[in-house]
A and B are shown apart, each in its own frame.
Chain A
Amino acid sequence: MEKKKITVAVTGLNAIDNPGPGVPVIRALTESKHFDVRIIGLSYESLEPGIYMHDIVNKTYSIPYPSAGTDSLLQRLNYINEKENIDVLIPNFDAELYSFIKLEDTMREMGIKMFLPTIEQFEERHKVNLSDYGKKYDINVPYARSIFSTNEVYGLTTDFTYPLVVKGKYYDAGIAYNQEQAISYFNKISAKWGLPIIIQQFVHGTEYNVIALGDGKGNTIASVPMRKQFITDKGKAWAGIAIDEKNLLEMSHHIIGKTKWRGGMELELMKTSDNKFYLLEINPRIPAWVYLAVGAGQNIPEALVKLAIGEDVEPYTEFKVGTMFIRCSWDMIVDIKDFEQISTFGEL
Protein backbone atom coordinates (compact mmCIF):
# COMPACT_ATOMS: atom_id res chain seq x y z
CA MET A 1 0.00 0.00 0.00
CA GLU A 2 1.34 3.39 -0.97
CA LYS A 3 1.77 5.69 1.99
CA LYS A 4 -0.14 8.94 2.09
CA LYS A 5 2.13 11.98 1.88
CA ILE A 6 1.48 14.46 4.65
CA THR A 7 3.19 17.48 6.21
CA VAL A 8 3.01 17.62 9.98
CA ALA A 9 4.26 20.51 12.13
CA VAL A 10 5.31 19.64 15.66
CA THR A 11 6.30 21.71 18.71
CA GLY A 12 8.09 20.51 21.85
CA LEU A 13 11.53 19.86 20.33
CA ASN A 14 13.28 20.35 23.67
CA ALA A 15 14.59 16.82 24.20
CA ILE A 16 16.25 17.77 27.50
CA ASP A 17 16.13 16.40 31.06
CA ASN A 18 12.51 17.52 31.31
CA PRO A 19 11.72 16.68 27.72
CA GLY A 20 8.99 17.97 25.46
CA PRO A 21 7.04 15.31 23.58
CA GLY A 22 8.01 16.64 20.12
CA VAL A 23 10.89 14.32 19.26
CA PRO A 24 9.12 11.07 20.28
CA VAL A 25 5.98 12.24 18.44
CA ILE A 26 8.13 12.77 15.33
CA ARG A 27 9.76 9.34 15.73
CA ALA A 28 6.32 7.77 15.95
CA LEU A 29 5.16 9.55 12.79
CA THR A 30 8.28 8.64 10.81
CA GLU A 31 7.58 4.99 11.68
CA SER A 32 3.98 5.21 10.50
CA LYS A 33 2.89 2.49 8.09
CA HIS A 34 0.12 4.75 6.85
CA PHE A 35 1.80 8.11 6.33
CA ASP A 36 4.88 9.31 4.50
CA VAL A 37 5.53 12.33 6.69
CA ARG A 38 7.42 15.53 6.12
CA ILE A 39 8.14 17.03 9.53
CA ILE A 40 8.20 20.74 10.22
CA GLY A 41 9.65 21.54 13.62
CA LEU A 42 8.37 24.58 15.50
CA SER A 43 10.78 25.84 18.15
CA TYR A 44 10.86 28.49 20.85
CA GLU A 45 14.58 28.42 21.64
CA SER A 46 17.63 28.05 19.39
CA LEU A 47 19.08 25.24 21.50
CA GLU A 48 16.15 22.85 21.38
CA PRO A 49 17.86 19.60 20.34
CA GLY A 50 15.11 18.55 17.90
CA ILE A 51 16.00 21.49 15.63
CA TYR A 52 19.30 19.80 14.79
CA MET A 53 17.94 16.27 14.24
CA HIS A 54 18.00 16.56 10.46
CA ASP A 55 17.37 12.84 9.97
CA ILE A 56 13.85 13.15 11.39
CA VAL A 57 13.05 16.89 11.16
CA ASN A 58 12.95 18.27 7.62
CA LYS A 59 12.83 21.95 8.49
CA THR A 60 12.42 23.99 11.65
CA TYR A 61 10.97 27.45 12.20
CA SER A 62 11.05 29.44 15.39
CA ILE A 63 7.67 30.64 16.66
CA PRO A 64 6.84 33.33 19.23
CA TYR A 65 6.19 32.46 22.87
CA PRO A 66 2.52 32.26 23.91
CA SER A 67 3.02 35.46 25.93
CA ALA A 68 3.43 37.36 22.63
CA GLY A 69 -0.26 36.72 21.91
CA THR A 70 -2.21 34.82 19.27
CA ASP A 71 -1.84 37.54 16.60
CA SER A 72 1.95 37.13 16.52
CA LEU A 73 1.60 33.36 16.46
CA LEU A 74 -0.93 33.45 13.66
CA GLN A 75 1.20 35.83 11.61
CA ARG A 76 4.20 33.53 11.98
CA LEU A 77 2.14 30.41 11.16
CA ASN A 78 0.82 32.15 8.02
CA TYR A 79 4.38 32.74 6.87
CA ILE A 80 5.42 29.14 7.62
CA ASN A 81 2.30 27.70 6.00
CA GLU A 82 2.85 29.65 2.78
CA LYS A 83 6.20 27.91 2.44
CA GLU A 84 5.41 24.46 3.81
CA ASN A 85 1.71 23.86 3.24
CA ILE A 86 1.14 22.22 6.62
CA ASP A 87 -1.60 19.57 6.79
CA VAL A 88 -1.60 18.89 10.53
CA LEU A 89 -0.09 20.65 13.53
CA ILE A 90 0.53 18.91 16.85
CA PRO A 91 1.16 21.31 19.76
CA ASN A 92 2.93 19.56 22.62
CA PHE A 93 3.19 22.11 25.44
CA ASP A 94 0.53 22.85 28.04
CA ALA A 95 1.42 26.55 27.99
CA GLU A 96 0.82 26.95 24.24
CA LEU A 97 -2.37 24.89 24.06
CA TYR A 98 -4.72 27.72 24.98
CA SER A 99 -3.47 29.81 22.02
CA PHE A 100 -3.75 26.90 19.60
CA ILE A 101 -7.23 25.95 20.82
CA LYS A 102 -8.34 29.55 20.25
CA LEU A 103 -6.82 29.51 16.76
CA GLU A 104 -8.16 26.08 15.75
CA ASP A 105 -10.98 27.38 13.51
CA THR A 106 -8.81 30.02 11.85
CA MET A 107 -6.07 27.50 11.21
CA ARG A 108 -8.55 25.04 9.74
CA GLU A 109 -9.48 27.73 7.21
CA MET A 110 -5.76 27.99 6.40
CA GLY A 111 -5.74 24.23 5.75
CA ILE A 112 -3.98 23.33 9.00
CA LYS A 113 -5.85 20.70 11.00
CA MET A 114 -5.36 19.99 14.69
CA PHE A 115 -7.01 17.57 17.08
CA LEU A 116 -7.24 19.33 20.41
CA PRO A 117 -9.51 19.32 23.44
CA THR A 118 -12.21 21.99 23.50
CA ILE A 119 -11.58 25.03 25.66
CA GLU A 120 -14.13 23.68 28.18
CA GLN A 121 -12.34 20.32 28.38
CA PHE A 122 -9.00 22.11 28.69
CA GLU A 123 -10.18 24.36 31.53
CA GLU A 124 -12.21 21.76 33.40
CA ARG A 125 -9.29 19.39 33.98
CA HIS A 126 -6.94 22.22 34.95
CA LYS A 127 -4.94 21.63 38.14
CA VAL A 128 -6.81 24.52 39.72
CA ASN A 129 -10.14 22.74 39.12
CA LEU A 130 -9.06 19.14 39.78
CA SER A 131 -10.91 18.78 43.10
CA ASP A 132 -14.23 19.66 41.42
CA TYR A 133 -13.32 17.42 38.51
CA GLY A 134 -12.85 14.48 40.87
CA LYS A 135 -16.25 15.07 42.48
CA LYS A 136 -18.01 15.52 39.15
CA TYR A 137 -16.60 12.38 37.55
CA ASP A 138 -16.31 10.24 40.69
CA ILE A 139 -12.53 9.93 40.71
CA ASN A 140 -10.24 9.93 43.76
CA VAL A 141 -8.17 13.12 43.77
CA PRO A 142 -6.05 14.51 46.61
CA TYR A 143 -7.47 17.61 48.28
CA ALA A 144 -6.11 20.77 46.67
CA ARG A 145 -6.71 24.48 46.47
CA SER A 146 -5.18 27.52 44.81
CA ILE A 147 -3.38 30.29 46.64
CA PHE A 148 -2.28 33.68 45.37
CA SER A 149 0.07 34.95 48.09
CA THR A 150 2.69 33.64 50.48
CA ASN A 151 0.52 34.98 53.32
CA GLU A 152 -1.90 32.17 52.60
CA VAL A 153 0.81 29.58 53.32
CA TYR A 154 0.52 30.27 57.06
CA GLY A 155 -3.10 29.19 57.12
CA LEU A 156 -2.64 25.97 55.16
CA THR A 157 -2.47 23.72 58.21
CA THR A 158 -6.21 24.15 58.77
CA ASP A 159 -6.87 22.14 55.58
CA PHE A 160 -3.59 20.30 54.96
CA THR A 161 -0.96 18.35 56.83
CA TYR A 162 2.68 18.52 55.83
CA PRO A 163 4.18 17.33 53.56
CA LEU A 164 2.20 18.97 50.79
CA VAL A 165 2.86 19.56 47.12
CA VAL A 166 3.35 23.10 45.79
CA LYS A 167 2.52 23.20 42.08
CA GLY A 168 2.80 25.71 39.26
CA LYS A 169 -0.25 26.23 37.08
CA TYR A 170 1.48 24.71 34.04
CA TYR A 171 4.70 23.05 35.19
CA ASP A 172 6.94 22.51 38.17
CA ALA A 173 6.19 21.17 41.60
CA GLY A 174 7.97 20.68 44.90
CA ILE A 175 7.24 18.71 48.05
CA ALA A 176 7.26 21.01 51.07
CA TYR A 177 7.76 19.55 54.54
CA ASN A 178 7.25 22.82 56.39
CA GLN A 179 6.10 26.43 55.93
CA GLU A 180 9.55 27.72 54.99
CA GLN A 181 9.85 25.20 52.18
CA ALA A 182 6.31 25.94 51.00
CA ILE A 183 7.10 29.67 50.80
CA SER A 184 10.36 28.98 49.00
CA TYR A 185 8.60 26.79 46.38
CA PHE A 186 5.80 29.37 46.08
CA ASN A 187 8.29 32.12 45.23
CA LYS A 188 10.39 29.97 42.90
CA ILE A 189 7.48 28.49 40.94
CA SER A 190 5.32 31.61 40.76
CA ALA A 191 8.29 33.63 39.46
CA LYS A 192 8.53 31.22 36.55
CA TRP A 193 4.93 30.25 35.82
CA GLY A 194 2.82 32.96 37.46
CA LEU A 195 -0.18 32.64 39.76
CA PRO A 196 -2.09 30.89 41.16
CA ILE A 197 -0.01 28.29 42.93
CA ILE A 198 -1.81 25.04 43.63
CA ILE A 199 -1.40 23.39 47.02
CA GLN A 200 -2.15 19.68 46.90
CA GLN A 201 -2.13 17.19 49.76
CA PHE A 202 0.89 14.91 49.33
CA VAL A 203 -0.02 11.30 48.65
CA HIS A 204 2.63 8.73 49.37
CA GLY A 205 2.86 5.80 46.99
CA THR A 206 4.03 4.56 43.63
CA GLU A 207 3.69 6.69 40.52
CA TYR A 208 1.72 5.48 37.54
CA ASN A 209 0.78 7.22 34.31
CA VAL A 210 -1.64 6.51 31.50
CA ILE A 211 -1.37 7.83 27.96
CA ALA A 212 -4.68 7.92 26.10
CA LEU A 213 -6.34 9.30 23.00
CA GLY A 214 -10.00 10.26 22.78
CA ASP A 215 -11.89 10.76 19.53
CA GLY A 216 -14.08 13.59 20.86
CA LYS A 217 -17.19 11.39 20.77
CA GLY A 218 -16.52 9.46 23.95
CA ASN A 219 -14.49 6.63 22.40
CA THR A 220 -11.04 5.71 23.64
CA ILE A 221 -8.84 5.16 20.60
CA ALA A 222 -5.72 4.22 22.55
CA SER A 223 -4.71 3.73 26.17
CA VAL A 224 -1.49 2.41 27.70
CA PRO A 225 -0.72 2.48 31.45
CA MET A 226 2.90 2.82 32.55
CA ARG A 227 4.73 2.47 35.83
CA LYS A 228 7.70 4.74 36.32
CA GLN A 229 10.78 2.65 37.06
CA PHE A 230 13.38 5.38 37.31
CA ILE A 231 12.49 8.94 38.23
CA THR A 232 14.73 11.98 37.75
CA ASP A 233 15.15 14.70 40.34
CA LYS A 234 12.55 16.64 38.34
CA GLY A 235 10.08 13.81 38.86
CA LYS A 236 10.20 12.71 35.23
CA ALA A 237 10.27 9.08 34.16
CA TRP A 238 13.69 8.10 32.83
CA ALA A 239 12.55 4.49 32.51
CA GLY A 240 9.13 2.92 32.57
CA ILE A 241 7.21 -0.24 31.78
CA ALA A 242 3.85 -0.84 30.11
CA ILE A 243 1.57 -2.61 32.56
CA ASP A 244 -1.73 -4.45 32.48
CA GLU A 245 -3.59 -2.60 35.22
CA LYS A 246 -7.31 -2.88 34.59
CA ASN A 247 -8.18 -0.07 37.04
CA LEU A 248 -6.08 2.40 35.08
CA LEU A 249 -7.46 1.33 31.71
CA GLU A 250 -10.98 1.62 33.11
CA MET A 251 -10.22 5.07 34.51
CA SER A 252 -8.99 6.38 31.15
CA HIS A 253 -12.06 4.94 29.38
CA HIS A 254 -14.30 6.42 32.10
CA ILE A 255 -12.81 9.92 31.78
CA ILE A 256 -12.79 9.92 27.98
CA GLY A 257 -16.32 8.47 27.87
CA LYS A 258 -17.75 10.97 30.33
CA THR A 259 -15.96 14.07 29.05
CA LYS A 260 -15.88 13.15 25.34
CA TRP A 261 -12.22 14.08 25.46
CA ARG A 262 -10.77 15.15 22.13
CA GLY A 263 -7.06 14.52 21.57
CA GLY A 264 -4.14 13.10 23.48
CA MET A 265 -3.95 13.09 27.27
CA GLU A 266 -1.86 11.85 30.13
CA LEU A 267 -3.21 10.83 33.52
CA GLU A 268 -0.75 11.11 36.41
CA LEU A 269 -1.65 8.88 39.33
CA MET A 270 -0.37 7.71 42.68
CA LYS A 271 -1.11 4.23 44.04
CA THR A 272 -1.18 4.16 47.83
CA SER A 273 -0.19 1.22 50.02
CA ASP A 274 -3.88 0.26 50.35
CA ASN A 275 -4.02 -0.09 46.53
CA LYS A 276 -6.08 3.05 45.88
CA PHE A 277 -5.32 5.19 42.86
CA TYR A 278 -5.37 8.97 43.25
CA LEU A 279 -5.47 11.15 40.15
CA LEU A 280 -2.86 13.87 40.59
CA GLU A 281 -3.10 15.60 37.23
CA ILE A 282 -4.47 15.40 33.72
CA ASN A 283 -2.11 16.72 31.09
CA PRO A 284 -4.12 17.76 28.01
CA ARG A 285 -1.61 16.54 25.45
CA ILE A 286 0.59 13.66 24.44
CA PRO A 287 3.30 13.04 27.09
CA ALA A 288 7.05 12.76 26.41
CA TRP A 289 7.00 9.00 27.02
CA VAL A 290 4.61 8.41 24.09
CA TYR A 291 7.21 6.33 22.29
CA LEU A 292 6.67 3.55 24.86
CA ALA A 293 3.08 3.25 23.64
CA VAL A 294 4.35 3.10 20.05
CA GLY A 295 6.82 0.38 21.02
CA ALA A 296 4.05 -1.53 22.78
CA GLY A 297 1.90 -1.48 19.64
CA GLN A 298 -0.19 1.70 19.80
CA ASN A 299 1.04 4.45 17.47
CA ILE A 300 -0.88 7.25 19.14
CA PRO A 301 0.58 10.17 17.11
CA GLU A 302 -0.36 8.37 13.88
CA ALA A 303 -3.90 7.82 15.16
CA LEU A 304 -4.12 11.47 16.23
CA VAL A 305 -3.09 12.64 12.74
CA LYS A 306 -5.74 10.36 11.21
CA LEU A 307 -8.39 11.85 13.51
CA ALA A 308 -7.21 15.37 12.65
CA ILE A 309 -7.66 14.81 8.92
CA GLY A 310 -11.02 13.10 9.43
CA GLU A 311 -10.02 9.52 8.69
CA ASP A 312 -11.72 6.64 10.46
CA VAL A 313 -9.62 5.16 13.23
CA GLU A 314 -10.12 1.73 14.69
CA PRO A 315 -9.53 1.81 18.47
CA TYR A 316 -6.48 -0.07 19.66
CA THR A 317 -7.57 -2.91 21.93
CA GLU A 318 -4.26 -4.38 23.02
CA PHE A 319 -0.62 -3.62 23.65
CA LYS A 320 2.45 -5.61 24.60
CA VAL A 321 2.53 -5.66 28.41
CA GLY A 322 6.08 -5.53 29.79
CA THR A 323 7.46 -3.30 27.03
CA MET A 324 9.95 -0.94 28.63
CA PHE A 325 11.54 2.35 27.73
CA ILE A 326 14.83 3.63 28.98
CA ARG A 327 15.62 7.21 28.08
CA CYS A 328 19.16 8.19 27.16
CA SER A 329 21.11 11.39 26.69
CA TRP A 330 23.06 11.63 23.47
CA ASP A 331 25.50 14.34 22.49
CA MET A 332 25.01 15.65 18.96
CA ILE A 333 27.78 17.49 17.18
CA VAL A 334 26.37 20.61 15.58
CA ASP A 335 27.91 22.98 13.04
CA ILE A 336 27.83 26.53 14.34
CA LYS A 337 26.37 27.58 10.97
CA ASP A 338 23.19 25.68 11.88
CA PHE A 339 23.01 27.51 15.19
CA GLU A 340 23.67 30.81 13.40
CA GLN A 341 20.92 30.07 10.87
CA ILE A 342 18.17 29.31 13.43
CA SER A 343 19.31 32.08 15.81
CA THR A 344 19.52 34.78 13.13
CA PHE A 345 16.86 33.85 10.59
CA GLY A 346 14.52 31.77 12.72
CA GLU A 347 14.55 28.83 10.36
CA LEU A 348 16.81 25.92 9.61
Chain B
Amino acid sequence: MNIKKNIALSDSGFIFNPSSGESFSVNPIGVEIINMLKDGKEKDEIKSEILNKYVTDDATFERDYYDFVNILNHYLLTE
Protein backbone atom coordinates (compact mmCIF):
# COMPACT_ATOMS: atom_id res chain seq x y z
CA MET B 1 0.00 0.00 0.00
CA ASN B 2 1.28 3.44 -0.92
CA ILE B 3 0.28 6.94 0.01
CA LYS B 4 -0.72 8.85 -3.12
CA LYS B 5 2.23 10.84 -4.41
CA ASN B 6 0.43 14.17 -4.53
CA ILE B 7 -0.69 14.05 -0.89
CA ALA B 8 0.95 16.83 1.11
CA LEU B 9 1.84 16.18 4.76
CA SER B 10 3.25 18.87 7.02
CA ASP B 11 5.25 18.31 10.22
CA SER B 12 2.25 19.53 12.21
CA GLY B 13 0.19 16.58 10.95
CA PHE B 14 -1.91 18.57 8.47
CA ILE B 15 -2.71 16.45 5.39
CA PHE B 16 -3.94 18.04 2.17
CA ASN B 17 -5.30 16.13 -0.80
CA PRO B 18 -4.88 18.59 -3.70
CA SER B 19 -7.17 16.69 -6.07
CA SER B 20 -10.19 16.57 -3.75
CA GLY B 21 -9.48 19.68 -1.66
CA GLU B 22 -9.98 17.68 1.53
CA SER B 23 -7.76 18.21 4.54
CA PHE B 24 -7.19 16.13 7.66
CA SER B 25 -5.17 16.20 10.85
CA VAL B 26 -3.19 13.34 12.32
CA ASN B 27 -1.24 13.07 15.57
CA PRO B 28 2.59 12.76 15.71
CA ILE B 29 2.48 8.94 15.49
CA GLY B 30 0.25 9.29 12.43
CA VAL B 31 2.82 11.62 10.86
CA GLU B 32 5.58 9.07 11.52
CA ILE B 33 3.60 6.21 10.02
CA ILE B 34 2.52 8.17 6.93
CA ASN B 35 6.12 9.29 6.37
CA MET B 36 7.27 5.67 6.61
CA LEU B 37 4.57 4.62 4.14
CA LYS B 38 5.62 7.44 1.82
CA ASP B 39 9.19 6.12 2.05
CA GLY B 40 7.87 2.79 0.78
CA LYS B 41 8.30 0.87 4.03
CA GLU B 42 6.29 -2.31 4.55
CA LYS B 43 4.12 -3.03 7.57
CA ASP B 44 6.67 -5.27 9.33
CA GLU B 45 9.36 -2.63 8.98
CA ILE B 46 7.04 0.03 10.37
CA LYS B 47 6.05 -2.28 13.23
CA SER B 48 9.64 -2.94 14.15
CA GLU B 49 10.45 0.80 14.26
CA ILE B 50 7.38 1.67 16.31
CA LEU B 51 7.92 -1.18 18.80
CA ASN B 52 11.55 -0.17 19.23
CA LYS B 53 10.70 3.45 19.81
CA TYR B 54 7.53 3.33 21.91
CA VAL B 55 6.23 1.32 24.86
CA THR B 56 3.57 -0.76 23.18
CA ASP B 57 3.01 -4.36 22.19
CA ASP B 58 2.55 -6.29 19.02
CA ALA B 59 -1.22 -6.77 19.33
CA THR B 60 -1.90 -3.10 20.05
CA PHE B 61 0.23 -2.05 17.09
CA GLU B 62 -1.53 -4.50 14.75
CA ARG B 63 -4.98 -3.30 15.80
CA ASP B 64 -4.17 0.42 15.63
CA TYR B 65 -2.20 0.09 12.40
CA TYR B 66 -5.06 -1.60 10.55
CA ASP B 67 -7.54 0.93 11.94
CA PHE B 68 -5.33 3.74 10.71
CA VAL B 69 -4.74 2.21 7.28
CA ASN B 70 -8.47 1.63 6.86
CA ILE B 71 -9.08 5.30 7.54
CA LEU B 72 -6.41 6.30 5.02
CA ASN B 73 -8.07 4.02 2.44
CA HIS B 74 -11.51 5.35 3.27
CA TYR B 75 -10.44 8.93 2.59
CA LEU B 76 -8.77 7.93 -0.69
CA LEU B 77 -5.30 8.90 0.47
CA THR B 78 -3.77 5.63 -0.71
CA GLU B 79 -3.28 3.96 -4.06
Which of A's residues lie within 8 Å of B, judged by CB? Answer: 206, 208, 226-227, 229, 240-246, 275, 321-322
Contact = CB atoms under 8 A, between A and B. Distances in A.
Interface of B: 6, 8, 16, 18-22, 76
16 contacts: A206-B20, A208-B21, A226-B21, A227-B20, A227-B21, A227-B22, A229-B21, A243-B18, A243-B20, A243-B21, A245-B19, A245-B20, A246-B19, A321-B18, A322-B8, A322-B18
A206 B6 CA distance: 20
Rank and list the top 7 A-B pairs by shortest CB-CB distance, nearest first.
A227-B21, A243-B21, A244-B18, A241-B21, A321-B18, A245-B19, A244-B19
Contact of B16 (A226, A246, A275, A322): A322
Dominant SS among interface residues on chain B: loop
Nearest to B19: A245
Nearest to A247: B19
Given A243-B20, A321-B18, 15 more contacts: A208-B21, A227-B22, A229-B21, A242-B21, A243-B19, A243-B21, A244-B6, A244-B18, A245-B19, A245-B20, A245-B21, A246-B19, A275-B76, A322-B8, A322-B18
B24 to A, nearest CB: 13
B49 to A, nearest CB: 30
Contacts of B76: 275
A206 B16 CA distance: 17
Contacts of A246: 19
B23 to A, nearest CB: 8
Most buried by A among B8, B19, B76: B19
Contacts of A244: 6, 18-19
A114 B22 CA distance: 37
Contacts of B8: 322
B73 to A, nearest CB: 14
Contacts of A275: 76
A321 B19 CA distance: 9
A275 B6 CA distance: 17
A240 to B, nearest CB: 8
Contacts of B6: 244
A257 to B, nearest CB: 22
Contacts of A240: 21
